[in-house]
Structure 1
Amino acid sequence: MKSIEYSIVDVFSPETYHPDHHLNVRDFADYYGVPEDAATGSANGCLAAYLVKYRYFNQTVIDIRVEQGYEIERPSLLHVKASYDGEAFHIRIGGKVEMIARGEWIL
């Protein structure tokens, strides 16, 4: 059996800190130097595809609120809209952010 050298783990639960949120998500990417991410748009996009494809909420169209980062004292709220028509996924992820860093690319 071949071992996996790196992984990203995205865990979700319907048990939330706030009753008006639909899911609590935790994203772990230790291989990339991110023990836990406070708000992960790309991971929640993949999660949205999973949720609609397998009808987690008993539907192929969702409009949900996902909380993330509470366990690391960086609470975040992402808005996730997704649909699946049997051939293609249509996914939108959004939320309000606070700047925590600024950088510049020098080419």
Structure 2
Amino acid sequence: NLAVGQIPVTFNYHNESADILWMRQNAPSFGQVLSAETLAKVLNLEPDEIDANFPIQEVSTGVPFIIVPLKTLASLKKAQVNLDKYFELVDRMEAKEILIFCPETYSDLNDLSVRVFAHSLGIPEDPATGSANGCLAGYLVEYAYYGEAKIDVRVEQGYEIDRPSLLLLQAGQNEGEIAVLVGGKVVMVAKGEFV
């Protein structure tokens, strides 16, 4: 139960134990389009490192993110947020966080590499962001990133901060809107109870 409503979670089972958890997010909405020059300054990149075939755009499935398509893993690795330019940008936008992605990956098993910057929340970089990747899934379908109106991809995140993570994205057109699923596995790191 979230501020944007109920988000259903389903389980895939393997050998009688939960294997992959899938979160069905709200259908994406698409907001403001931004220039490569603006985001290049925010990310300390050159404008031609951003893929001009696809827009830089605010996308939300409940929490808005600025989605930025890059061409190469080298650009993704070297991106570094200029905090002055970042706060100047997000001060006038609904989206306060940035997801950058590229089609080159650390692992040959994966389809995309992603980084998420959330300085406005006090998180310089997040290792695995389900809400942001849901927005990315909607974006990939909306702009036929893979040449069709559906996706089933593996996304790696967190490598640059030594916390590698894997998220699974499935999305496609369904009765006039984009249905988005974000899946993955979890690892228990702590356990407790309220008394």
Which of the five TM-score ranges fits, normalised by the shorter chain? Answer: 0.7 to 0.9
Asked whether the 8 Å contact 1:60–1:85 carries over to 2, the reply is no
Residue 52 of structure 2 corresponds to which residue in structure 1?
none
TM-score, length-scaled by structure 2: 0.49
TM-score, length-scaled by structure 1: 0.86
3-state SS of 1:64 partner: strand
Q: 1:4 to 1:78 in 2, by over 3 A?
A: closer
Q: What is the one-letter code of the residue matched to 2:90?
A: I
In the alignment, the residues of structure 2 paired with residue 57 and residue 42 of structure 1 have an alpha-carbon distance, to the nearest angstrom, of: 21
Of the candidates 100, 103, 119, which is equivalent to residue 11 of structure 1?
Answer: 100
Residue 105 (structure 1) shift = 7.9
For the aligned residues, what is the CA RMSD? 2.3
Q: Which has more helix, going by share of residues?
A: 2
Q: How does 1:1-107 map to 2 (within 5 A)?
A: 4-5=90-91, 7-85=96-174, 87-100=176-189
Q: 1:85 to 1:32 in 2, by over 3 A?
A: same
Q: What is the one-letter code of the residue matched to 1:64?
A: V
In the alignment, the residues of structure 2 paired with residue 68 and residue 22 of structure 1 have an alpha-carbon distance, to the nearest angstrom, of: 11
Q: What is the one-letter code of the residue matched to 2:151?
A: I
Q: Identity of paired residues, percent?
A: 50
The Cα offsets for residues 46-83 of structure 1, whole Å up to 9 and x where unpaired, read as: 00000001000101111000000011000000010000
In the alignment, the residues of structure 1 paired with residue 101 and residue 193 of structure 2 have an alpha-carbon distance, to the nearest angstrom, of: 34
Uncovered stretches (5+) of structure 2, i.e. residues with no partner: 1-87
In the alignment, the residues of structure 1 paired with residue 194 and residue 180 of structure 2 have an alpha-carbon distance, to the nearest angstrom, of: 29
The ranges of structure 1 where at least 4 consecutive aligned residues each deviate by more than 3 angstroms after the TM superposition are 99-106
**Larger Rg: 1 or 2?**
2
Residue 99 (structure 1) shift = 3.2
Q: 1:36 to 1:21 in 2, by over 3 A?
A: same
In the alignment, the residues of structure 1 paired with residue 130 and residue 139 of structure 2 have an alpha-carbon distance, to the nearest angstrom, of: 14
Uncovered stretches (5+) of structure 1, i.e. residues with no partner: none
Residue 84 (structure 1) shift = 2.0
Count residues with an aligned counterpart: 105
3-state SS of 1:81 partner: strand
The Cα offsets for residues 88-107 of structure 1, whole Å up to 9 and x where unpaired, read as: 1111101112234567789x
3-state SS of 1:21 partner: coil
